[in-house]
Chain A
Amino acid sequence: MKIQMSKYPGFIVLGALMAWGARTEAQDTVTAITHAKIMTVGPAGTIENGTILIKGGKITAVGASVTVPTGATIIDASGRVVTPGLIDAHSHTAVEDGVNECTNIVTAEVRVTDALDPRDISIYRQLAGGVTAANILHGSCNSIGGQNATIKMRWGVASGDALIFQGAPPGIKFALGENPKRSNFNVGTRRYPMTRMGVEVSIRNAFLEAKAYKKEWDDYEASSKAAAPPRTSRGSGKATTAPAPLPVAPRKNLQMEALKEILEGKRLVHAHSYRADEILMLIDVANEMGFKIATFQHVLEGYKVATEMAKHGAGGSTFSDWWAYKMEAYDAIPYNAAIMASHGVVVSLNSDSDELARRLYWEAAKTVRYGGVSEDEAFKMVTLNPAKQLWIDKWAGSIEVGKDADLAIFKSHPFAPDTRVEMTLVDGKVMFDRSKDVAARKGVAATLGGGGQ
């Protein structure tokens, strides 16, 4: 996927300002990670024995011959492998009281940010798997679901807002197929739609409504601009007969506002999908209505329509080898990620699970086995590629000077069967340290009366 950020200059500037705000609050001391094998996932490739300097939450230097300033906090990573923090492009972690607003087919007005729970222990557990950022999505109950939250795993913050990845553009969840038509759920109340036809119509109708809404607002804004200086005809002493501007702004409809943002290219669409026919359907609807799909999520039949996805510019965020758990998942193959990638689709591997999120690195390893993806390209599927899909690659996804110091330190190569995460940093702060965790377990075991390990 080519990300044309220059198309939305205002947007990016705002994002940069917000990121700057976060930067200023970070610590001023220098942290140095030394003697590490560094998988940068960036242009520098893999550095066998290198150093990373961190200041103010940012990577300030990386390389084989970096001088460590005096007074720096040193993390000796001899024998360890440092990688960018992993990014989960499909997660429902840290959401309180329901990830689905199931009551309507379109719920574009609801926001995951309203329900974030910074106390969710899953945040810490995912840090233990090297995950530093995630795309927290609304569920798949609706053809157009709620607004997403791109978060960092900042364990210990008090508010949901403090989890937000500053600068990340807003997104929204779409869903196709069995979930929005409620095929696999024993729900008490029947809700439209019950077919794939209905799912398509519900999306098309929503955008027709959004276009009308956008026109209403555009017209209003044009009319209030035109009416700005009050015009009276002095000569006759009468007011002109020009149509009076609308005295009151149109009703602000938060659902329509979100769809308007999609039409304006300001909100990324993440579409839950399985079958090739529905993927093509949504591309058609998007082309007809004039919006872009940022990613197809799950996209188990993406291998059948990878060319069309690449042409649209949509990324694919899929599972490694999980299939046949429902009818629409029967045609899934573990070669999906490899085939999509080979056709020019930006591919990521996601968890969709608090638990699987802790082992995303092994999910990536499976694409080496299934499809012969190179190790470097495979690891991108849980680092740089999801960062690109979420439009946060400016700040995350690889170890490069200027990017956020979101890092994982592995015991060995992240694809090795004996590997594990020793330490995870977010914004340059150590958020998970296995040695401390192991020490703390003794205390916990004591309070439980033994039995801990």
Chain B
Amino acid sequence: MMKRHPRPGLALRAGAGLFGGAVLLLSAPAARAAKIPAYAITKAKVVTVSGAVLDNATVVLRDGVVVDVGPAAAIPKDARVFDGTGLTITPGLIDAYSGAGMPAPRPAGGGPGGGGGAVATAAATPAPNPIAPASNIYERVRASEALRARDSGVTTIVPIPREGLVFGSAAVMNLIGERPEGMVVKSNIALAASIATLGQRYPGSLMGTMAFFRQALMDGTHHRAEVGAYEKAPSGRKRPAFDPGLEVWADVASGATPLLLQTPRIGDLRRAFALADEFKLKLVLAGNTQAFEETALLKERKPALLVSVNFDPPRVGGFFGGNDDDRDRAEIEKAEKNPAALDKEGVKFALVSGFAPDFLAGIRKAIEKGLPREVALRALTLTPAEILGVADVMGSIEKGKIANVVVWSGEPLSKDAKVKVVFVDGELYEPEEKPAVPPGGEPPRPGEVRDEVKR
């Protein structure tokens, strides 16, 4: 649920009446754009990411933009002022491969991943077309559900459907408002797809999937040539069929639109590069929880790389088993060390949730396994902004950038860290206080089956 009436936390010394009234006016997006007040967070530690860490500094937000930052920033008279003493401000986290707001996967026929509470709601949802190049993914986002990601300090997402082969056009979305189209910061950043298989429908095998991509890219190019020839001299020629899907493939084949490709298997990195070389594709590679095994290749090719912290994704069930518990555990442990291993080798990447049920927990695990915290923060802010082509407006705390910032108590991304306040497009959101983590570890997630039960 979106929180319209933020309760002031203990650390925020602003009176409830001060901004309670203002928030009430924000029922429509147009009104919001006009009416959100200026905010100044003072005396805080500011991790700008693009520059130095500033101690005892002020960040001023107005009209959805960072208007000033620094120890000597002027505090406007009309600004709502928060005392940030003891708090840390970072750029809003960008999850460049997120399941936030996307429908839960439908239960597969006896396959993994269909269990838990998701079944009942999913059953009512009609099966989406698994091959939808001409669709806009943002149209499928459930805004109210997506906004929950703010509780983890996420201000910006690239939502990706949880199942399918060709998902559609991807967009960068800020977590604000009620309508998905209103959340879009930048549309059509890439065609999103996965080297996935569709079981009973073509392509049902990895071989088929690669053949499908190859044919689609060739068909797009051919379609464009046909349309071009027709437009030059239409008289006496058969009119080429209108096909927006092939238009998209043509743009991908020519490199005009990047292909954001999920590469779930370690061998998929090479498969993606081979496809890119055959067609001159511009790639963004996503998933890659075992990417460290291909470090030399990654150092050579330097792809735009999104590395998932979803260390235990549902396994692909093969014809012969796929239920090797020992192997799975080993894979999970290797995946947890993957971000640190890549960083050690100088491979640049963005960290993404990859549908992980708890993004922050995954990030903390990567840090625990050796990824430096400041590297993790950059991989969650400026690096994804650069990969997504939005670094001019987000990814760091700089004058003129979109006012997507997070105020943390405790060291950000550490176990003690709490997201106190999140600003998205300059609008304040305050997560509800959650019960503390019990001594036995984090509580089970909905639908999660714990190891004890599994065994």
Which A residues have a C-beta under 8 Å from some C-beta of B? Answer: 95-104, 107, 109-112, 114-119, 138, 146, 158-161, 188-189, 247-249, 251-254
Within the complex, which residue of B202, B266, B316 is in contact with A97, where a contact is CB–CB below 8 Å?
B316
Interface contact B211-A254, CB-CB below 8 Å: yes
CB distance from A217 to the nearest CB of B (A): 13
Interface contact B207-A252, CB-CB below 8 Å: no
Starting from the known contacts A159-B270, A248-B226, A252-B222, 10 additional A-B residue pairs (CB-CB under 8 Å) come to: A98-B205, A101-B208, A103-B202, A114-B206, A114-B210, A114-B271, A158-B270, A158-B297, A161-B270, A161-B274
- Which residues 204-242 of B sit at the A interface, judged by CB distance below 8 A? 204-208, 210-211, 214-215, 218-219, 222, 225-226, 229, 232-233
Interface contact A115-B205, CB-CB below 8 Å: yes
CB distance from A98 to the nearest CB of B (A): 3
Within the complex, which residue of B206, B222, B265 is in contact with A248, where a contact is CB–CB below 8 Å?
B222
Q: Which 5 A-B pairs have the closest CB atoms?
A: A98-B205, A97-B206, A114-B210, A101-B208, A110-B207
Flag whether B245 is at the interface (Cβ < 8 A): no
Point out the residues of chain B lying under 8 angstroms from A99, CB to CB: 205
Point out the residues of chain B lying under 8 angstroms from A118, CB to CB: 267
Interface contact B205-A252, CB-CB below 8 Å: no
| Interface size, B (range) | 35 or more
Give the distance in Å from the alpha carbon of A97 to the alpha carbon of B210 in the complex.
12
Within the complex, which residue of A104, A112, A160, A161 is in contact with B202, where a contact is CB–CB below 8 Å?
A104
Interface contact B211-A112, CB-CB below 8 Å: no
Residue interface mask B254-290, A partner, CB < 8 A = 1? 0000000000011100110010000000000000000
Interface contact B222-A97, CB-CB below 8 Å: no
Give the distance in Å from the alpha carbon of A70 to the alpha carbon of B218 in the complex.
56
Q: Is the interface of A mostly helix, strand, loop or mixed?
A: loop
Give the distance in Å from the alpha carbon of A444 to the alpha carbon of B302 in the complex.
36
Once A109-B211, A251-B219, A254-B218 are accepted as A-B contacts, the answer to whether A101 and B205 lie under 8 Å apart by CB is yes
Give the distance in Å from the alpha carbon of A138 to the alpha carbon of B206 in the complex.
12
Interface contact B211-A114, CB-CB below 8 Å: yes
- Which residues 72-116 of B sit at the A interface, judged by CB distance below 8 A? 109
Flag whether B55 is at the interface (Cβ < 8 A): no
Give the distance in Å from the alpha carbon of A24 to the alpha carbon of B270 in the complex.
24
Interface contact A98-B319, CB-CB below 8 Å: yes
Point out the residues of chain B lying under 8 angstroms from A188, CB to CB: 109, 200
Give the distance in Å from the alpha carbon of A363 to the alpha carbon of B348 in the complex.
52
5 residue pairs A–B, Cβ–Cβ below 8 Å: A96-B206, A100-B204, A111-B210, A114-B207, A114-B210
Give the distance in Å from the alpha carbon of A102 to the alpha carbon of B201 in the complex.
9
Give the distance in Å from the alpha carbon of A133 to the alpha carbon of B222 in the complex.
38
- Which residues 185-214 of B sit at the A interface, judged by CB distance below 8 A? 197-198, 200-208, 210-211, 214
Interface contact B200-A96, CB-CB below 8 Å: no
Give the distance in Å from the alpha carbon of A116 to the alpha carbon of B274 in the complex.
13
Point out the residues of chain B lying under 8 angstroms from A160, CB to CB: 267, 270
Point out the residues of chain A lying under 8 angstroms from B206, CB to CB: 96-98, 114-115
Interface contact A101-B207, CB-CB below 8 Å: yes
Which B residues have a C-beta under 8 Å from some C-beta of A? Answer: 109, 197-198, 200-208, 210-211, 214-215, 218-219, 222, 225-226, 229, 232-233, 265-267, 270-271, 274, 294, 296-297, 316, 318-319
Interface contact B267-A96, CB-CB below 8 Å: yes
Interface contact B215-A101, CB-CB below 8 Å: no
Point out the residues of chain A lying under 8 angstroms from B198, CB to CB: 103
Point out the residues of chain B lying under 8 angstroms from A254, CB to CB: 211, 214-215, 218
Within the complex, which residue of A100, A115, A117, A253 is in contact with B210, where a contact is CB–CB below 8 Å?
A115
CB distance from A125 to the nearest CB of B (A): 15
Give the distance in Å from the alpha carbon of A248 to the alpha carbon of B219 in the complex.
13
Interface contact B215-A98, CB-CB below 8 Å: no
Interface contact B218-A101, CB-CB below 8 Å: no
CB distance from A198 to the nearest CB of B (A): 19
Point out the residues of chain A lying under 8 angstroms from B316, CB to CB: 97
Interface contact A110-B211, CB-CB below 8 Å: yes
Point out the residues of chain A lying under 8 angstroms from B197, CB to CB: 97-98
CB distance from A30 to the nearest CB of B (A): 30
Interface contact A252-B218, CB-CB below 8 Å: yes
Give the distance in Å from the alpha carbon of A109 to the alpha carbon of B225 in the complex.
23
Give the distance in Å from the alpha carbon of A163 to the alpha carbon of B233 in the complex.
49
Point out the residues of chain B lying under 8 angstroms from A248, CB to CB: 222, 225-226, 229
Within the complex, which residue of B208, B265, B271, B319 is in contact with A107, where a contact is CB–CB below 8 Å?
B208
Point out the residues of chain B lying under 8 angstroms from A253, CB to CB: 215
Interface contact A103-B210, CB-CB below 8 Å: no
Give the distance in Å from the alpha carbon of A251 to the alpha carbon of B219 in the complex.
7
CB distance from A351 to the nearest CB of B (A): 16
Once A103-B200, A248-B222, A254-B214 are accepted as A-B contacts, the answer to whether A110 and B109 lie under 8 Å apart by CB is no
Once A97-B318, A252-B222, A254-B218 are accepted as A-B contacts, the answer to whether A103 and B208 lie under 8 Å apart by CB is yes
CB distance from B381 to the nearest CB of A (A): 32
Choose among A97, A98, A115, A116 the residue with the greatest number of B CB atoms under 10 Å from its CB.
Answer: A97
CB distance from A174 to the nearest CB of B (A): 16
Give the distance in Å from the alpha carbon of A375 to the alpha carbon of B372 in the complex.
65
Chain B residue nearest to A146 in the complex (CB): B207
Within the complex, which residue of B204, B207, B214, B218 is in contact with A115, where a contact is CB–CB below 8 Å?
B207
Point out the residues of chain B lying under 8 angstroms from A251, CB to CB: 218-219, 222
Point out the residues of chain B lying under 8 angstroms from A100, CB to CB: 204-205
Within the complex, which residue of B204, B215, B318 is in contact with A102, where a contact is CB–CB below 8 Å?
B204
Chain A residue nearest to B207 in the complex (CB): A110
CB distance from A390 to the nearest CB of B (A): 20
CB distance from B166 to the nearest CB of A (A): 16
Give the distance in Å from the alpha carbon of A253 to the alpha carbon of B211 in the complex.
11
Interface contact A101-B222, CB-CB below 8 Å: no
Interface contact B204-A101, CB-CB below 8 Å: yes
Give the distance in Å from the alpha carbon of A96 to the alpha carbon of B318 in the complex.
9
Interface contact A103-B207, CB-CB below 8 Å: no
Give the distance in Å from the alpha carbon of A110 to the alpha carbon of B204 in the complex.
11
Point out the residues of chain A lying under 8 angstroms from B215, CB to CB: 109, 253-254
CB distance from B128 to the nearest CB of A (A): 19
Within the complex, which residue of B203, B229, B270 is in contact with A103, where a contact is CB–CB below 8 Å?
B203
Give the distance in Å from the alpha carbon of A254 to the alpha carbon of B203 in the complex.
14
Choose among A101, A112, A116, A118 the residue with the greatest number of B CB atoms under 10 Å from its CB.
Answer: A101
Once A251-B219, A254-B214, A254-B218 are accepted as A-B contacts, the answer to whether A97 and B297 lie under 8 Å apart by CB is no
Give the distance in Å from the alpha carbon of A161 to the alpha carbon of B277 in the complex.
14
Chain A residue nearest to B225 in the complex (CB): A248
Chain B residue nearest to A96 in the complex (CB): B206
Give the distance in Å from the alpha carbon of A323 to the alpha carbon of B318 in the complex.
26
